[in-house]
A and B are shown apart, each in its own frame.
Chain A
Amino acid sequence: MKARVHVMLKDGVLDPQGEAVRHALGTLGFSGVTGVRQGKVIELDLAATDKTKAEAEVRAMCERLLANTVIEKFSVELI
């Protein structure tokens, strides 16, 4: 089983990198972009076969390492 984790800055946390990307898009003429948030995607190959257990385990991984929950939120998708 594979899990895909999306890690994004929480709403309200300033994302200077996203802002820089938005500015660059404006420079390229894409004037309609009102906001950019940049995050990361982490894919995990899992030995687990039980979906519920796997999701709980990946969420624990996010809490302990993959995301810094002070500033980041995460979502887990099993594929």
Chain B
Amino acid sequence: MKAAIITFPGSNCDRDLAQAFSAAGADVTHVWHKDSTLPAGTDIVGVPGGFSFGDYLRCGAIAAQSPIGAAVRAHAERGGYVLGICNGFQVLTEMGLLPGALMRNSGLKFLCKSVGLRVETGQTGFTAGYTAGQVISLPIAHHDGNYTVDPETLARIEGECLVALRYTANPNGSVADIAGLLSENRRVLGMMPHPERAVDPALGNADGAAMFAGLIGRMALA
């Protein structure tokens, strides 16, 4: 299982994400945003958290137009897996791989804490390591995590069960408590919480480890 982790100027979770994929058994390659191709045989692309391009213009807007962007889009269109975390989620919405947008937190504060999350669907590799309805805890660290989408698209999202994770207590004003959202083919996941920061019990919480282990297990079966 080959994972490619993209690094933009200002990414700061790329090595944590690589570590989480490696620990789960993936073969990880780092890819620079100026590269125009992904390594041959890439199964999943990781778009990490951080402050790509200093959050200039809008969070994720400049990164979404990077040279590697076209390759990530093509990978997703082929049915490849993409995981965008935090700033990575913002990048995926700016790329148009996921609908909606992430706005400033409704309370205006940068939030850095652990939050409760309910796993809403088991029908995706991303949650194969959990059971639907399970409540887990993961850290969040963001200023712009307030997910917004028009009512028609929200109805479609709910109708197709594309919400992967919901906050148990909404910290940022996200519509319908959405913390993690799937694409229509359920192979692109954008999420504000950081599973890669919760993969080792030595750091106090390993609830995120099952996301990587479950995903890689599911992909090995395919």
B-side interface residues, number (CB < 8 Å): 20
* Contact string against B for A residues 44-72, beta-carbon threshold 8 Å, 1 for contact and 0 otherwise: 00000000000000000000011010110
B104, A17: Cβ atoms closer than 8 Å: yes
**Nearest chain A CB to B123 CB, angstrom units:** 26
**Nearest chain B CB to A74 CB, angstrom units:** 13
A63–B93 Cα distance when bound, in Å, is 14
A-side interface residues, number (CB < 8 Å): 10
A11–B114 Cα distance when bound, in Å, is 33
A70–B104 Cα distance when bound, in Å, is 14
Decide yes or no: A65 and B100 within 8 Å by CB, A70-B148, A70-B149 being known contacts.
Answer: no
A65–B101 Cα distance when bound, in Å, is 14
Q: Among the listed stretches B1-9, B12-20, B57-65, which one makes contact with chain A, having 4 or more residues with CB under 8 Å of it?
A: B57-65
A-B contact count (CB 8 A): 34
Most buried by B among A13, A65, A68: A68
* Contact string against A for B residues 32-65, beta-carbon threshold 8 Å, 1 for contact and 0 otherwise: 0000000000000000000000000110010001
B105 contacts the other chain (Cβ, under 8 Å)?
A: yes
What residue of chain B has the Cβ atom nearest to residue A19's Cβ?
Answer: B108
Decide yes or no: A68 and B58 within 8 Å by CB, A16-B106, A17-B108 being known contacts.
Answer: yes
**Which residues of chain A are near B94, meaning CB under 8 Å?**
68
A14, B65: Cβ atoms closer than 8 Å: no
**Which residues of chain A are near B105, meaning CB under 8 Å?**
16
**Nearest chain B CB to A75 CB, angstrom units:** 17
